[in-house]
Structure 1
């Protein structure tokens, strides 16, 4: 047995898939290895000592709700890390919203340190590094693509490592919503899951927006402008001339306002470069004959293959050609050679980056 179980709930000729993984079905010496494989699309996981690894227990149950994934995770003390290399390997550009029913963790998302307990909500931007150390825990997680959440919130850059305390209104609403939705997910037909998933996404975004920003008409105007700027940047990533001057001229926003918007991201140029690199990952993961690296570089607004390679190595620690070769090579083999890791397949295909 491999610890996986794929179920189908059928009604009126429609099906809703759920994926279950339980290490209890595996031999003790295999349990943590397969758990690490299963989670590798999102996190690298480690435990503190070999004895714990041999006694390891962990379970996942995931429902596919159209544009998002809903997962319950139960396990013991371990470390979860997402480095620049993990980000490159996974090739995903999603957000995680976690509600903790039991236990928690402490850690850091970029420079933001936090501690999570039962009832708290925490948000992770999977295009950015993070590291946590958990206690024994049980949580329910929304995984949704950036393209779905980003247009609904004013400042997505502020979400990474954001904690909504258990006693806050947004924390109570989101925790109750995620836990209740998971309890009901197994009873949903596929068409119901699509509708519920879309409404849940809007509800989650509303709670995050209220928690991360102040109210008021002036704030709403800034939120609308921020969304407009991000959409313009995404549409113009192919243009090597894209920068503050282009954005200011096209949208009529002041330079001071633009710089304030992207201060947390290290500046406008840094944000644009990061988005270009993240968007290029999907092209590098494609078959080798799909596109030349030089063409990928030009496609995403880099002036040359050399400038693209230098920027890529500075962030991910290897060149684009090394990454492309490694995706199907021995350096990544332990994460790529298990075809039945359906969670990874679901996460990667949730939406195009």
Structure 2
């Protein structure tokens, strides 16, 4: 096991890295980390390295005697590109983590080799959709709970500040759990661009490397905007504007007991048909409103440990305690009262977590 050394357990050539520690332009930060060998010791070291952002757990079917994983990181200011080799594991961002820490980046995982990871939503489950073994891109909002099941493979991972993503995509939160397959010219250009950036960053100035990062972000936003039907022509621009308008309105009125899909449509003078497709990924506008209220409730249960659970629930339109508890448990696999009781411990544990570096 090592960090920032000249020798790693997995050959750096397999990671598209130079055979020796690279000499980079000032302002570009680089590090390596790798583990290989005894499954228990290697896995514990990997857990510790990943702990700033994910709680790493063994995969349910993990029965191998050895565990190997590695990362190579390049960071410029607030943008980071990682080249990962992964072994089987579960990476978990719990509700407690996202409700207490300050990591709000959007991550984009570009799966290049092996079986792509499976996005299991906010908690582990057995019915995750099968993702074909072709280059694929998964977007995740670090401000939302998730569980990711990884297999043997290789991926490039880009961490991007939320504000930078939202320059091109109306609401970064809606990217959470979205997949794009590398079957279009834009996505193929994007993957070629990221692989080239990884290969060539040693010879780039900070200015050129930073611009290459920004180009990758623009290509990612274009790919996901196209998939969501928010780009491509004048009508798509209108849809994108409506999409942002509705989400901003919902967010500003989560504590309004009269907030419903009908009230949103009436207040914004929109037709039901014009809004339906925009929120299809979320299960519809009603499901989106309910999801955002539950997420806000989770934040407030952690932030305000001295408030009564039912006061928080009713303030977000949940007037029936049992219905709120059932909906909350279905969404987050924990009862609201349990999360509320854990709040002081969660705040002490995660309040000092930083961005993943």
Settle same-fold status: TM greater than 0.5. yes
- Is the 8 Å Cα contact of residues 45 and 79 (structure 1) preserved in structure 2? yes
Q: 2:22 touches 2:202 (CA, 8 Å); kept in 1? A: no
1:173 aligns with 2:189: yes
SS state at 1:57 partner: strand
Q: In the alignment, which of 200, 214, 231 is matched to residue 216 of structure 2?
A: 200
Query: Which residue among 303, 308, 312 is the counterpart of 1:297?
Result: 312
The structure 2 residue matched to 1:36, chosen from 47, 56, 59, is 47
* CA 49–242 in structure 1, closer or farther in 2 if over 3 Å, else same: closer
Match of 1:237 in 2: 254
* Number of the residue aligned with 1:220: 237
Q: What's the CA shift string for 1:174-233, capped at 9, x where partnerless?
A: 212222333455677777776654453223201322344373322332222112212222
Report the Cα distance in structure 2 between the residues aligned to 1:233 and 1:104, rounded to whole angstroms. 37
Q: Name whichever of 204-213 and 122-131 sits farther off.
A: 122-131
CA drift of 1:18 comes to 4.2
> For residues 19 and 279 of structure 1, what CA distance do their matches in structure 2 show?
36
Determine the structure 2 residue equivalent to 1:277.
294
Gaps of 5+ in 1: none
- Secondary structure at the counterpart of residue 115 of structure 1: coil
**Given the alignment, which residue of 79, 104, 116 partners 2:115?**
104
Kindly provide the CA deviation profile for residues 86-123 of structure 1, in whole angstroms up to 9, marking residues without a partner as x.
34444466543222332233646567724243643333
Instruction: Please state how far the C-alpha of 1:263 moved relative to its aligned partner.
Output: 3.2
| Aligned twin of 2:90 | 80
The number of residues matched between the two structures is 328
Task: Rate the CA distance shift 1:175–1:225 in 2: closer, same or farther, 3 A.
Answer: same
Q: How far apart are 1:140 and its partner, in Å?
A: 0.3
- What's the offset of the Cα at 1:31? 1.2
| Conservation of the 8 A alpha-carbon contact between 1:284 and 1:324 | yes
Q: For 1:224 and 1:147, how far apart are their aligned partners in 2?
A: 17
Asked if the contact 2:35/2:69 (under 8 Å) is kept, the reply is: yes
1:316 Cα deviation (Å)?
1.5
Equivalents in 2 of 1:185, 1:23: separation in Å? 24
CA distance in 2, matches of 1:326, 1:22: 34
The secondary structure found in structure 1 opposite 2:218 is: helix
Native 8 Å contact 1:106 1:114 kept in 2: no
Tell me, in whole angstroms, the C-alpha distance in 2 between the residues paired with 1:308 and 1:226. Answer: 27
Deviations 1:27-75 (A, max 9, x none): 75321123234446346542466762x4211112334444543221112
**Aligned-pair RMSD on alpha carbons?**
4.5
Return closer, same or farther for 1:217/1:109 CA change in 2, 3 Å cut-off: farther
**Alpha-carbon distance in 2 for matches of 1:96, 1:8:** 25
Q: Is the 8 A contact 2:119 2:177 kept in 1?
A: no
The alpha-carbon distance between structure 1 residues 160 and 47, as it changes in their structure 2 partners (threshold 3 A), is closer
Residue 271 of structure 1, CA deviation: 1.0
State whether structure 2 residue 282 is matched by structure 1 residue 265: yes
- Return the alpha-carbon distance in structure 2 between the equivalents of residues 175 and 164 of structure 1: 11
Q: Is the 8 A contact 2:86 2:154 kept in 1?
A: yes
CA contact (8 A) 1:9 1:186 kept: yes
